[in-house]
Amino acid sequence: MAWFIVKRIAYSLLILLGVTFITYLLLYMIPADPARQIAGRSATAEVVANIRHQLGLDLPFYEQYFRYLVNLVQGDFGRSYVQRSEVATLIEARLGPTLQLMVAGIGFELLIGVTLGIVAALKRNSVLDQLLMAFSFIGVSSPHFIAAMLALYFFAVQLEWFPLGGYGEVKHLMLPAITLGVLGSGWYSRMVRSSMIEVLHQDFIRTARAKGLKRLRVLLRHVLPNAIIPVIPMIGIDIGIFMSGLVVVEAVFGWPGLGQLAWQAIQQVDIPVIVGVTTLSAVAIILGNLVADLAVLFVDPRIDINKS
C-alpha cells in the first residue's frame, strides 16, 4: 500500500515537471517581450536591454528553465514582472478566496446533486424523475459565464437577494457558490441516480427487504453507502474541471482569487505568475485525482489494489 502511494507521488512529480516545462516553453514562444512591457513606453533601447538582462531573459531557453526549476524546488516561484512582489505572496493572498469558492461550490454540487439523484432514483420513471434529469442536463450544458451573468442579473440586480459580487462575508460567497453548485450538480445527480438504481436491484437489498427491515433503514445503511461509491472519484476530477473554469467565474463575480490573477497575468505576459498559477492548478488537479483514486480503493472492497 505504502509502496503504491510512493509510486504515485513520484509519478505525479514527474507529471508536474512536464507541466512546468510545457508551460514555460509555451510562454517563451509568445511573441511579446516582457522586458518591453515592464520598461514601458518611455524607455530607451538601453533601458529595455538592461531590464532584459536583469530578468535573465536574454539567456537561452534551457538555461532560463533550469534556473526556474532550481528556484522552484527551493520554494521560490520567482517575482512577478509587473508587480515585483514574490509570486508566492501573490498566490498565497488569492488562494484563500479560491479555496473558499471551490469548497463551497463543490459542496453545493454534492448537496444538490446527491439529493436530486436519490429522489430521482426512488421515483424513477415518474414525471418528477424526468424533470430532475432534464434540470441536470441543462445545468451541465450551460457555459459558466452565461449562468453567472444571468444569475447576477436576476438575483442580485433585479431581486436584490444577494450582493453584487465582491468578497468578504458569507453573503458574498452564496451566489457564486450556489450558481456553480446548480451547474455542476448535473453530473452527480445522474451518477447517483443510476448507481442507486443498480444497487437497488442487487440481491442483498432484496434480501434485506425480505427480512422485513424498514425501507428507510435499508436505504440509509445499505443502499446509500454503496451508491455513493462512484461519486468519490468524480470529486477528484471535478477539482480539475473547477480549476479550469475559475478564470471566467471569478471575472464575472469579481471574486479576488487565482482565476483573476491568472487572467491579469496573461494579459500582461507576466510569465512567473502564469507559470506559478498553472503549476498550482496542476498540483490541485493531480492531488484531486490521487485522493479520489485512493478513496475508491479504501471504500470499494471489490477492487484489489494489486491488480490496478
Q: Which of residues 47-66 bind another protein (CB under 8 A)?
A: 47-48, 50-51, 54-55
Q: Which of the ranges 57-65, 150-158, 211-219, 290-298 carries the binding residues for another protein, by CB under 8 A? A: 150-158
Q: Does 153 bind another protein (CB under 8 A)?
A: yes
Question: Which residues between 19 and 48 bind another protein (CB under 8 A)?
Answer: 19, 22-23, 26-27, 29-34, 36-48
Establish if 93 lies at the interface with another protein (CB under 8 A): yes
What's the number of CA atoms in the CB half-sphere (13 Å) around residue 234?
Answer: 19
Q: Is 266 in the site for another protein (CB under 8 A)?
A: yes
Q: How far is CA 69 from CA 13, 90, 180, 298, in A?
A: 13, 19, 35, 35
Q: Which of 88, 5, 91, 24 is nearest to 287 (CA)?
A: 5
Rounded Cα distance between 13 and 136, Å, is 36
> Where in 160-179 is the site for another protein (CB under 8 A)?
164-167
Listed ranges 1-9, 81-89, 171-179, 299-307: which one lies at the site for another protein (CB under 8 A): 81-89
If one asks whether residue 245 binds another protein (CB under 8 A), the answer comes out as yes
Alpha-carbon span 92 to 202, nearest angstrom: 48
Whole-angstrom CA distances from 269 to 186, 256, 289 are 36, 19, 30
Which residues lie across from 86 on neighbouring strands?
A: 79
Determine if 222 is a binding residue for another protein (CB under 8 A).
Answer: no
For the CB of residue 25, give the shortest distance to another protein in the complex, in Å: 10
Q: Which residue matches cell numbers 452564496? A: 174
Residue (177 or 271) nearer to another protein, CB: 271
**Subset of residues 184 to 203 that bind another protein, contact rule: CB under 8 A:** 190-191, 193-195, 197
255 contributes a contact to another protein by CB under 8 A: yes
DSSP 86: B
